[in-house]
Amino acid sequence: MFSNAAEEMDIDAIFEAYKEPSEKTPKIDVIIEHYLALVNQLKKDLNILRDDFAHHKKIKYDLPDTLEELNNIRKLSSIIPKNLPYDQILEKLVEFSRQIIPHKKSEIFLVEKEIFFAVSKKSHPDFQLIIKCAKDEGILNWLWEQGHPIVVPLTDFVVYNKLKNKKGSIILSPMVIEGNGIGVYLIHTEKGSTQLSLRDLELLNVMTQQAAHAVHFSKENMVRDNKDEKIMKIRKQLMESLKLATVGELAGGVAHEINNPLQIIMGNVQMARMGHKVEENLEIIEKQALRIANIVRGLLNMVRSNKDSVKEILEINSLITNTLNLIRGQIEKRNIKINLILNKKLPVVQCGLIYFQQVLLNFLLHSKKQIGENGSIEVKTEADEQNFVKIIIKDSGVSMPKEYIDKVMDPFLRLENSTELNLGLTVSVQMIRDIGGNVLIEAIENSGNKVTIKIPIASKKKIDFQNEVVSVG
């Protein structure tokens, strides 16, 4: 390890060499020169030994620390897609950053429209003063541009005299997303800049950026959720408007539907008064009265509140039959035949009774509109192999243009020469998607249109929880 020069040099030999008569003895500075050369060489050898020892120590002892640090970074990264509240992101960042730089107080400040706000509910007053000072002096903009943490002694802040804590330093770690500063992580530590290694600050920087991405992800989700909530609110309002409009459209058909059984009831009442087959006439009267009651109930269902209907377990076949009863009169009046092909062994589904009845009405009334007069509507139900119930509505009307169908399926799609949008169909498609289903609209050339509605079947747990099936009939 030591150099050859050091091994050959011997202090005792040097002095023995100069034990000669005084006239031959060299000057003392020669001895000192040789001695200093030896000392310097020894220092070099000692530094080599120290570096070698530090290298082996790092491999042997620091490797577990490095692995632990990497594991902490991995854990902090895992919170990014979890959409955590800001205060929980701060808790995680504090937990892991304390393992690098011990401290008692820290805070995340986020910025929106140049206004900074603390993430925690009770931020320390000193942090409020420091963040304002850093903003006013332009430190934060510079910090975001540099992209690295800085250590500032408390005494360097203009507001030092106003601070409650007078000792230590503040570490400012930038939070940057795509080159834009979104906030800063403040740490109050008792250590000075000379006591903090570059490695510690780099690790803190990595962790702060992980937290910045978690904050950004959470913020984007909040914006999306607010937009979704507004869209749902508008959609519900639109659905209510469409529902009332549909009730008005149904009024004429319902009047026709009620008029027929009323005529039958009046005729049988007169027959019963004459004593002719009283029991038989009473049965007919009861049957027709029930028919009227079902028609009226169906119409009233259209305008009733729908707050809890999303939890209902429904039999699709009976829902289809009773929905058709509401419009059968106005359909048959136009010489449109209705053909029902209903699978009797369908599983039940879970969806909103009123909204789904409105969906069916929207598609059926649209089929009637496409036909005009003299045609047919076929409604078929079947079980899908992928845990769905399918409702297939075919009509013999005018085929819908492709641009029209595309616009119904995606109302925000920009199309040239697009036709007027049918809001009823568009809202119906979105409502089916909201409950986990899907809609396919096809135009069959020269032979009408086909609408396939897929609704997820109710799980056994949901059926057991409700304990009964809501049958619309």
Residue 363 sits in a domain of what CATH number?
3.30.565.10
- 1 band by pLDDT with thresholds 50, 70 and 90: very low
Considering the domain architecture, whether residues 396 and 415 belong to the same structural domain is answered as yes
- 6 band by pLDDT with thresholds 50, 70 and 90: very low
State the pLDDT at residue 131: 92
Considering the domain architecture, whether residues 201 and 58 belong to the same structural domain is answered as no
Kindly state whether residue 232 falls inside one of the protein's structural domains. Answer: no
Provide the strand spans (E) within 85-229: 105-112, 115-118, 150-153, 169-177, 180-189
Q: Show the tokens assigned to 23.
A: 């006239």
Considering the domain architecture, whether residues 452 and 330 belong to the same structural domain is answered as yes
State the pLDDT at residue 58: 52
Considering the domain architecture, whether residues 389 and 445 belong to the same structural domain is answered as yes
- Of 29, 55, 75, the residue at which a domain comes to its end is 75
- Integer Cα distance of 45 and 60 in angstroms: 23
Number of domains in the chain: 3
Strand order from edge to edge, sheet including 169-177:
115-118, 105-112, 180-189, 169-177, 150-153
- 446 band by pLDDT with thresholds 50, 70 and 90: confident
Amino acid at 105: K
Considering the domain architecture, whether residues 86 and 206 belong to the same structural domain is answered as yes
pLDDT tens string 44-71: 888 787 767 665 655 554 545 555 556 6
**Segment among 149-163, 238-252, 459-473 with least mean pLDDT:** 459-473
- Of 47, 75, 103, the residue at which a domain comes to its end is 75
More confident position, 14 or 259: 259
The reported pTM is 0.46
Considering the domain architecture, whether residues 45 and 96 belong to the same structural domain is answered as no
Considering the domain architecture, whether residues 333 and 389 belong to the same structural domain is answered as yes
Kindly state whether residue 117 falls inside one of the protein's structural domains. Answer: yes
Residues 6+ apart with CB under 8 A from 83: 217, 218, 221
Is 420's pLDDT higher than 60?
Answer: no
- The mean predicted confidence, pLDDT, of the chain is 77
Kindly state whether residue 428 falls inside one of the protein's structural domains. Answer: yes
Kindly state whether residue 113 falls inside one of the protein's structural domains. Answer: yes
User: Crossing angle of helices 353-371/316-332, nearest 10°?
Assistant: 30
Biggest alpha carbon distance in the chain?
168
Kindly state whether residue 387 falls inside one of the protein's structural domains. Answer: yes
pLDDT tens string 164-177: 888 899 999 999 98
- Integer Cα distance of 170 and 132 in angstroms: 14
Is 253's pLDDT higher than 70?
Answer: no
pLDDT tens string 271-307: 778 777 778 778 877 777 877 776 676 666 655 555 4
Structural domain for 346, as ranges: 308-473
Considering the domain architecture, whether residues 185 and 319 belong to the same structural domain is answered as no
Please report which helix (H) or strand (E) contains residue 438, including its range: strand 438-444
pLDDT tens string 83-98: 788 888 888 888 888 8
- Of 198, 222, 246, the residue at which a domain comes to its end is 222
